[in-house]
Amino acid sequence: MRIAGIQKLTLLDFPEHIAATIFTPGCNFRCPFCHNSELVLDTNEVEYDVDEVLDFLKSRLGKLNGVAITGGEPLMQPGIKEFIKKLKDIGYEVKLDTNGS
């Protein structure tokens, strides 16, 4: 599981939740209207350590109640299922944005 970015607080990305947003790199589509186009080609040089992100989210439990995962296309990430399970085990609700392919 690769993480290209994190927004530590969002009131928009997961309706009716106070959440964090996780951004994953890479996408199999090239939509001209993409709002995260810098993530599509997976050329982002910044990458976050998964364990550090999980530690941060553990520390915010009770202040945040959800995690939105977006990209790119998150379902291209090996280990996404396990990552989501870890988030749920911590106590978060998860919203997954996908292109459905």
**Nearest residue to 1 (alpha-carbon basis) of 33, 46, 48:** 48
Which residues are within 8 A (CB) of 1 and not within 5 positions of it... i.e. 6 or more apart? 24, 50, 77, 78, 79, 80, 82, 83
Burial class of residue 75, CB neighbours in 10 A (0-12, 13-18, 19+): middle
If one counts every other C-beta atom within 10 angstroms of the C-beta of residue 7, the result is 14
Tokens of 52: 């550090």
Per-residue pLDDT 10s for the chain (101 aa) are 999 999 999 999 999 999 999 999 999 999 998 888 889 988 878 899 999 999 999 999 999 999 999 998 999 999 999 999 999 999 999 999 999 99
